[in-house]
Amino acid sequence: MRIDILCLFPEMFVSPFAHSIVRRAEERGLVEVISHNIRDFAHDRHATVDDYPYGGGAGMVLKPEPVFEAAEYVRHSTRSSDSPVVLLTPGGRLFSQGIAAELSAHSHLTLICGHYEGVDERVAEHLATDELSIGDYVLTGGELAAMVVVDAVVRLLPGVLGCHESAADDSHADGLLEYPQYTRPEEFRGWRVPPVLLSGNHAEIAAWRRRQSVLKTAARRPDLLNNVTLSDKERAWILESL
């Protein structure tokens, strides 16, 4: 997969992607992430990328021309005519594991990151194929949101995760929160690891973990249970815990 990121601060992407699974995926040739400076596509002497909002108001708005030209440059150099062009914006669809999975099925993605007060609306209307938001809080721009999307998408690409860290085990993959994990020592400051995990009984361990996942989800994120099929026994666990 190739991912092109159009933004005003391409340096922001260097460190996060240099220290993560994303780098390992790049080294293995499974993904290529390229960030472009929208300013390089400005035409005037001062490389102007923003301007005052029509109608007045605070701050500056990213001009459409350099954004369109950056996207067209990417489209031509990748020869991809119908790959997703995602605008990160607070008003977008809420990003989710399901959307990450959809995006991971494409061989090319373009992500557009605004800054300042946002991006001229014609980018959303006539260039982007999708608008995404990573959550209901205010960021200073779309760059961090784009990093979140790249991270979530790349780890779903075939071969990126080893079989021991398979995405099938993820929280949200089966719709439930993850069960608690423990490592050595067996006793830390008087707090013991649950004995079942030391028992060597794999069936009992699996059952304990499933129960922990179900009860934790019911307690903390009952909304997630609307999209999960539980057995009668699992529903009984929840009722007992209330």
Candidates 16, 39, 90, 211; catalytic one: 90
Q: Is 155 a catalytic residue?
A: yes
d(Cα 177, Cα 172) in Å, to the nearest integer?
6
194 is annotated as an active-site residue? no
Q: Is 232 helix (H, G, I), strand (E, B) or coil?
A: helix
Total of residues contacting ligand JE8 (CB under 6 A): 18
Strand ranges for 98-204 from DSSP E: 108-113, 130-133, 187-188, 191-192
CB of 102 to ligand JE8, least distance (A): 17
Catalytic status, residue 170: yes
Among residues 1, 142, 161, 176, the one that binds ligand JE8 under rule CB under 6 A? 142
State the nearest-atom distance from the C-beta of 51 to ligand JE8, in Å: 15
**DSSP code string of 76-97:** HHHT-SSS-EEEEEEEEEEP-H
- How far apart are CB 49 and ligand JE8 at their closest, in Å? 13
- Contact positions with ligand JE8 (CB under 6 A) in 71-90: 88-90
Which of the following is catalytic: 117, 131, 151, 178? 117
Q: How far apart are CA 104 and CA 227, in angstroms?
A: 21
Of 95 and 208, the one with the shorter C-beta distance to ligand JE8 is 95
**Residues linked to residue 51 through DSSP beta bridges, in sequence order:** 61
DSSP state for residue 150 in the 8-state scheme: H
Closer to ligand JE8 by CB, 131 or 174: give it: 131
Peptide bond connecting 90 to the previous residue in cis, omega within 30 degrees of 0: no
**Which letter, b or e, does each residue of 82-112 get, where b requires 16 or more Cβ atoms within 10 Å of its Cβ?**
ebbbbbbbbebeebeeebbeebbeeebbbbb
Out of 81, 107, 140, 227, point to the residue binding ligand JE8 (CB under 6 A).
140
Which of 171, 23, 207 lies closest to 97, judged by CA? 171
Judged by CB, which is closer to ligand JE8: 131, or 170?
131
Residue 185 Cβ vs ligand JE8, minimum distance, rounded to whole Å: 40
180 is catalytic: no
Distance in Å, CB of 128 to ligand JE8, minimum: 12
Nearer to ligand JE8, 137 or 191 (CB): 137
Binders in 113-132 for ligand JE8, by CB under 6 A = 114-115, 117-118
Residue placing its CB nearer to ligand JE8 in the complex, 10 or 142: 142
What is the distance between the alpha carbons of residues 31 and 28, in angstroms, rounded to a whole number?
8
Question: Which candidate, 109, 37, 180, places its Cα nearest to that of 99?
Answer: 109
Q: Which residues are catalytic?
A: 90, 117, 155, 170
Residues that bind ligand JE8 (CB under 6 A): 88-90, 92, 114-115, 117-118, 133-135, 137-142, 145
